Copies of this chain bind each other. A is one copy, B any other.
C-alpha cells in the first residue's frame, strides 16, 4: 500500500491566466467545519452568496447563483439550457474561448453561425449585424474578456443588435468579473457565466451565473429535456431558490464558503476601487514591459487590465524562461494558447495577484534572467 506524502507544494505567486493567488481569509474560510447542503444555516449562506453575486454582476436577476463545477461548466450550463436541437446560434470568435462556445453549440445539435475576428482584435459589431441579416438565431454569444488573447470586448452595441434580431445575448465574463466592470442589466445581457479563480480570487471549482426573466422563459418553454441532468437549470433552480429547497445534487459546501469570503473581500474593497487598482497596476506593468522591449498583442483601447498578452521578443526561450521563473522565483506566468503557443506570454494581474509587489517581483526576476542569457 503506497501512501502519498503530506501535501507540500511551494508557495507560488500566480501571475498566469488563473488561478490567481487566494487571500488567506479565503483559504481559512474553506477550513470552516462541514455542514449539510440542506442545513438552514447553509441555505442562509447560499442566499448571501446569491445576493453578493447579484451586486457583482450588477443585476436584479433572481436566478443568480454558482454552478457546482468550474467556469467551463458555466459555459455549458448556458448553452445546454438555452439551446435545443435545430436552433440557430451566432457565436463571436476571436480566441480559444469563442471556439469552445462553438463546440458547445454543436454538441447541443444547434446550427452554428460564426462571426470571426483575428486573435487579439475585438469583434466588429458590423460583422455581427451582417451575420444577423441571414439567420434567426435563438442567441448571440460573445466573450467579454478573452483569456487567450487579453481582448476586452465592448458589449453594448452587439447586445443591442442581438435584441433587435430577437435573440438572447449570452456573455462569457470568466476573466472580467471582479477585475473590470460587468453591468449585466444595463448592457442588456440575458445570460452570463464566470469562474471563481480569476479576478474573484477564490479557488477554481464554481461558476457564478445569472439568467434574466427572458432567459428563464426560454428555459420554461423548452420542447425537449436539457441534455445534461447535472446542469439542468429547471432542476437546479429548485435547490438554489424558493422557500423550500429541493435536493438535486450535494453542493460543494467548502467551495461555497470560499466564494462567500472572496465576495466579502471584494465588497470591503469596493467595486470602483478594485477596478481602479486593476487599471492602475496594468498601466505600471505595461510601462515596464514596454521598456524591456515587450510589445502588447492588443491595441490600447481594447486591453484587458487583468490579462496582459505580450509578444515574446526574438531570442527569448519561451519554455525555459517560464520554467526558471517558476523554479527559481515561484512565479507562474501563462504560456500562449492555441494560435499563440510559443509566441505570446499571458501575464495575469487578477484579484489578489494584482499588487505592486507582484509586478516588482516579476520584473526583477525577468530582468535577471534576460540579462544573464
Render A10-40 as a binary contact track against B, CB cut-off 8 A, 1 for contact.
Answer: 1110101011111000011111111111011
Q: Is there contact, CB below 8 Å, between A69 and B72?
A: no
Instruction: Give chain B nearest CB distance to A147 CB in angstroms.
Output: 10
Interface residues of A in 226-246 (CB under 8 A from B): 226-230
Contact with A35, one of B12, B68, B103, B263 (Cβ below 8 angstroms): B12
Which of A45-53, A122-130, A297-305 has 4 or more CB atoms under 8 Å from chain B?
A: A45-53
In contact, B10 and A36 (Cβ under 8 angstroms): no
Determine if B33 and A22 form an interchain contact, defined as CB atoms under 8 angstroms apart: yes
Knowing A12-B33, A33-B11, A227-B227, say if A250 contacts B76 (CB, 8 Å). no
Taking a contact as CB atoms under 8 Å apart, the answer to whether A33 and B39 are in contact is no
Residues of B within 8 A of A260 (CB): 4, 7
User: In the complex, which of the residues B16, B19, B51, B226 contacts A107, with contact meaning CB atoms closer than 8 Å?
Assistant: B226
Partner of A252, one of B29, B41, B100, B255: B255
Query: Is there an interface contact between B55 and A1, defined as CB atoms closer than 8 Å?
Result: yes
Q: Give Cα A344–Cα B339 distance, bound, in whole angstroms.
A: 58
Q: How far is the CA of A195 from the CA of B251 in the complex (A)?
A: 12
Besides the known contacts A70-B250, A76-B230, A227-B228, 9 further A-B residue pairs in the complex with CB atoms under 8 A apart: A2-B55, A4-B49, A12-B34, A14-B36, A21-B33, A36-B332, A69-B69, A205-B205, A247-B337
B32 with A249: CB separation less than 8 A:
no
Could you tell me the distance between the alpha carbons of A369 and B47 in the complex, rounded to whole angstroms?
31
Q: Do B230 and A69 touch across chains, with their CB atoms under 8 A apart? A: yes
Report Cα–Cα, A257/B204, bound state, in Å. Answer: 12
Residue A131 at the B interface, CB < 8 A? no
Which residues of chain B come closer than 8 Å to A337, judged between CB atoms?
Answer: 247
A69 nearest CB across to chain B (Å): 4
A28 contacts across to B, CB distance below 8 A: 31
**CB contact between A205 and one of B52, B254, B264 (< 8 Å): that residue:** B254
A314 contacts chain B at the CB level, 8 A cutoff: no
Are the C-beta atoms of B267 and A225 separated by less than 8 Å? Answer: no
Is there a chain B Cβ closer than 8 Å to A61's Cβ?
no
A6 within 8 A of B: yes
In the assembled complex, the CB of A262 is this many whole angstroms from the nearest CB of chain B, namely: 11
Which of chain B's residues have a CB closer than 8 A to the CB of A205? 68, 205, 252, 254-255
Bound-state CA distance A73–B73 (Å) is 11
Q: Which residues of B contact A21 (CB under 8 A)?
A: 33-34
In the complex the two chains form, is B257's CB within 8 Å of A7's CB?
yes
With both chains docked as a complex, state the minimum distance between the C-beta of A73 and any C-beta of chain B, in angstroms: 5
The CA-CA distance from A260 to B80 in the complex, in Å, is 32
Contact status B36-A19, CB under 8 Å: yes
- A19, B34: Cβ atoms closer than 8 Å: yes
A294 within 8 A of B: no
The answer to the question of A151 belonging to the interface, with a C-beta cut-off of 8 Å to chain B, is no
A34-B203, A230-B69 as given contacts; A258 in contact with B249, CB under 8 Å: no
Q: How far is the CA of A48 from the CA of B41 in the complex (A)?
A: 35
A225-B106 contact given A30-B27, A36-B12, A68-B69, CB 8 Å threshold: yes
Q: Is the CB of B9 within 8 A of A103?
A: no
Residue of B at shortest CB range from A74? B230
Closest 3 CB pairs of A and B: A205-B252, A4-B48, A69-B69
A94 at the interface (CB under 8 A from B): no
A-B contact pairs, 27 of them (CB 8 A): A2-B55, A3-B264, A3-B267, A4-B49, A4-B260, A7-B260, A9-B32, A9-B45, A12-B34, A14-B34, A19-B34, A27-B30, A27-B31, A37-B204, A40-B326, A69-B69, A70-B250, A71-B250, A72-B229, A72-B230, A80-B228, A107-B226, A203-B253, A205-B255, A227-B228, A254-B258, A255-B255
